[in-house]
A and B are shown apart, each in its own frame.
Chain A
Amino acid sequence: MNHTGTEITSAILNLHNEPLSAVAKCSDRELAGMRGRIIGETSLTVAAFQASI
C-alpha cells in the first residue's frame, strides 16, 4: 500500500480501458500480484533485507 497526501495508490490495476484479450496477454507480467491478492492468501509485505537476495 502506497499513498501520497491526497490519493492512495491501491493494489488493483485499472483495467477499464484494456480489451480482455490484452489483459490476458499481460497477466503473467503485470497482474501476478493482483491475482495473488484476490485468488490466494495474501500477507502484509515487509521491507526485505537489501544485503541478501
Chain B
Amino acid sequence: MSGHHLALRQFVVKVHTRCDLACDHCYVYEHADQSWQQKPKVVPPETITRIAERIAEHARRRSLSEVSVILHGGEPLLAGPERLDEIITILTDQINPAATLRVKIHTNAVLLSERYLKVFEKHAVQIGISLDGDREANDRHRRYANGRSSYDLVVKSIGLLQRNNPDLFSGILCTIDTKNDPIRVYESLLRLNPPKIDFLLPHATWEEPPPRQSQTDYADWLSAIYDRWEKDERPVRIRLFDSIIRTTYGESSLSEAIGVEPSSLVVIDTDGSYEQVDSLKVAFDGAPATGLDVFRNTLDEVAGHPGINARQNGIAGLSAECQACPVVSSCGGGLYPHRFRANSFDNPSVYCADLFKLISHVREATLMQAHQVPRKTIESFATGFGGDAEVRSLTESQASIRRMLLSDIGSADPETLRTLDSLEELSPGMTDTVFAHPYVRVWAVDCLRGKALVGHLRNITAAVAFRAGARLKTRAEVKDGAIHLPTVGTLVTDRTDGSIEIDGGQVRLLDGDREWRPVRTLTSGGHTVVLEDADPYRDCHQWPVAGRLSSDELARWQESFDAAWRLIEADYPEYLPGLRAGLTTIVPLRPDPAGGDVSSAARHAFGSVAAALPADPATFALLLIHEFQHVKLGAILDLFDLYDQNDHRRFYAPWRPDPRPLEGLLQGTYAHIAVADFWRRRRHVEPDPAHHEFARWRAQTAEAIETLAGSGALTELGADFVARMRDTLTPWLAEELPPDVEKQARVAAEAHLEAFQSQL
C-alpha cells in the first residue's frame, strides 16, 4: 500500500506517559481509552532511535522537504531536560539529513525552568503551553491530584519564557468551560502576551455529550470573544477564528478542529506503537490503535491505514448531513473524535449546533468572499476541454488575482493607486481590461519578488487613462529605450526621463523625440489577439522571444494565424469556444536553430501563447490547442490544490528523457490529451504521420495518467480531475490503428522506458 497515500508530515511523539497534573478534562487519562497504563513511562533510547529512523525513511521515500515532531505526553517535561536533550538530538541527527525537522513541545509548563529552556534553545524547539484562563478558570480543571492549583507555576513559567526565549513561545491552548466568563478568560490570556491562542472544545462524543445549558453554549461563549477580538483589531492570532476566516475565503484551516484538510498526522507512543490521532481516546477503549509499530512497520504502511485514510477524504468523507450543510467548507464536520456515535464516526459533530452558529456569526462579520466555481466547470476542464463559460470563470478569478497583485504594489505608490481608483470610477472596467494583459501579472509577480521595478505601475495607469480618454501626466518607466503602455503601444525614446502626457487617446513625451508604435493584432473568424512583440516583461518563456516584427513578418503571422484558426473552426470546434474566451495574446519567439517547432505558455501569463512562426497552419493549430491547455490548467491550479506541492518526488514522463515533478507531469499529461485528440482527428486528412502520432501520444498520455493516479500525491479534487482525464482517453485506446503502427509505438515506448531506467 506504500506510495498510494498522502505522505505523513506531523509526528506526535509521546515521550512520557504520566502527568504531574490531574486535569479532569484530559483525554489521555479521563476518557474511555486506558492504554496509557500499559506503556513505558518514558520513551526508551532504542525506541526513539527507531522512531527517528522511520521518520527519516519516510521523508526520503516521499521526498519531503520538511517534517515536524511534536513532543507530547502525558507531560513531556517529566522526561527531564537531559533525556529530552538526548531525544531531540537523536531525532535531529537522524531526520535532518533527510528533511528539515521542526520540533515543538506541548506542556503544562509547571516544571519549565532555565535548564529546560537551554535545551529548547539549543534545538530551536517551539513551546506551546496549556492554560485555561485566569486563576479561577484554570483551577476549575487544571489542578494537581491533591487539588492544589497549577496557575501560579504556569504563569511564572510563561514569564520566564517571555524573558529568556520569547521567540520559542508558540502560544497558549485553552480548553473551554462555559462556566468561565469568556471575556475574563480572553483578557487574562491576552495579558500574558502570547503570539497565538487557541480555544479547544472539551472532548466529548454523542455517547458522552459535553456539559451544556443550551444547544449553543459554546458558540455563544466563543462569539463573545470573537466580537471583542474584532473590536480590539485582532491583537493576537486566535487559531480557531483565523481558521474560520481563512476557510471562508477558501484557504486552509490551521487546525484539525475544523476544515477539510487531509490529516497527515500519526501519534507514536512510548512503546513505539503507531496510533491515529490520540484524541480518539475519548471514543472507546483502543480507538486510536493501528496494530502497527516502528519496529515492524514503515510509515508508508501507516499512511495506508484505513483509520488514517478516513480523515483524508475531504467533504466526501463526511456524513450526508454534513455534506449538505452550507458551512461545511469551514466546519469540515469538526474534530473527528467528536463525531462518534453508536460505533460510527459517520455523523456530524456533537458540537454541530455550536459550530454552525459560530461559523455563521464569523462569516456575517467578514466582508469578502472567495470565487466559487461550479463543480461541473472543473469536471468540464478535467475532460480536456472547457468552453466559453468555463474559461470565463477562470478569467474572472484571474482578474481578482491581478487586482490583489496591483493593489499590493500600489501600497508603495499610493498616489498612483488613487489615480487608478479615479480612472476606475470614470471608466468602469477599464482598469481590468488593461490589467488583463498577460504580462501585467508577469511584471507584478516579478515586482513583488523584488525582480522588477514598481515604476511600471505608472505605465499601466497611463494605459488605463489612454483607453479611458482621460488626461494624465505621469513619469513612466523607461525600459530598454522605450515606454511600454500595456494593451496600447510603445513610445520609443532615447531619453531616460519618461515624463509623458496622456490626453484624448494620445500619448506625448514631454521632452524629447519619440516614435509611437501602437499595439498590433492578428484576426481571424471575428477573433482578435494581440501580437505582442514589444512588452518588456514578455521574455518569461522557456525560449527567447523575437524582437519587433517587420511588416512582412507581421503579414506572414496574420496569414498563418488565419489559416490555423480556420482549421480549428473546421476540424476542432470543441476547442474553439475556450480559445475565443481566453486566448488574448500571441508572443513571437525566435525560431529554433535546429529547425524544430518552438512554443510555450507561462504560468503567470494567463491568456498568452508564445511560439516561433510555425511551418504550416496545422502545426500552428496544434500548438495553439496544446499551449492553451497549459494556460487553462495553470489558472485552475491558481484556484485549487490538485496535488501536494510539498511532495518533491519526480516521476517518469514517457515523452521526456528526465523525470518530472508532479506539476510538470500533470501539465504535460493534460496538454497531451489535446495533442492525442488532434492527431486522432487528423488521421483522416493526413494519415501519415497522424496514425503514428496518435498511437504515440495516446499511449504516452495513458501511461502518464496512471502514474498520476497512483502517485499518492493527488488531493481529492486532483484524483477526481485525473480520473476524468482518463475517461476522455480510455475510448481512444480502443480505436483501431494499422498493426505496424501500434507495434512501432509500443517498441518506441519500451525503448524510451529502457533508456530512462538505464540512467537511474
Contact = CB atoms under 8 A, between A and B. Distances in A.
Contacts of B717: 1, 3, 8
A50 B420 CA distance: 44
A33 B697 CA distance: 38
B250 A44 contact: no
A46 B9 contact: yes
Contact of A8 (B279, B326, B375, B401): B375
Nearest to B396: A16
A1 to B, nearest CB: 5
Nearest to A24: B407
A47 B328 contact: no
Interface string B396-422: 110111011111101100100110110
A17 to B, nearest CB: 9
A53 to B, nearest CB: 4
B264 A18 contact: no
A11 B250 contact: yes
A24 B640 contact: no
Given A1-B717, A7-B374, A44-B646, A27 B407 contact: yes
Interface string B632-662: 0000001111011111000000000000000
A49 to B, nearest CB: 5
Name B's interface SS: mixed
B252 to A, nearest CB: 3
The residue among B196, B249, B414 with the most chain A CB atoms within 10 A of its own CB is B249
Interface stretch (B167-175, B489-497, B668-676): B167-175
A51 B278 CA distance: 9
Given A39-B448, A52-B70, A52-B104, A13 B373 contact: no
A29 B365 CA distance: 14
Contact of A20 (B9, B254, B369, B417): B417
Interface stretch (B255-263, B522-530, B531-539): B255-263
A30 B371 CA distance: 14
A27 B375 contact: no
B192 interface: no
Interface string B187-200: 00000000011101
Given A1-B640, A8-B372, A14-B371, A21 B277 contact: no
Nearest to A42: B645
Given A4-B328, A21-B414, A24-B411, A16 B644 contact: no
Contacts of B432: 16
Contacts of B374: 6-8
B372 A50 contact: no
B683 interface: no
Interface of A: 1-16, 18-21, 23-24, 26-27, 29-31, 33-35, 37-39, 41-53
Given A14-B368, A50-B257, A51-B173, 7 more contacts: A1-B314, A4-B315, A8-B374, A8-B378, A11-B639, A27-B411, A31-B408
Interface of B: 6, 9-10, 12, 27, 70, 72, 104-106, 128, 170-173, 196-198, 200, 234, 239, 245-247, 249-257, 259-265, 277-279, 311, 314-315, 323-324, 326, 328-330, 332, 335, 366-376, 378, 396-397, 399-401, 403-408, 410-411, 414, 417-418, 420-421, 424, 431-432, 445, 448-449, 638-641, 643-647, 715, 717
28 contacts: A1-B641, A3-B314, A4-B323, A5-B323, A5-B375, A7-B374, A7-B375, A8-B717, A9-B250, A12-B371, A14-B371, A16-B400, A20-B431, A24-B407, A30-B366, A30-B368, A34-B404, A35-B404, A38-B638, A39-B449, A44-B645, A45-B253, A46-B6, A47-B265, A50-B335, A51-B12, A52-B12, A53-B171
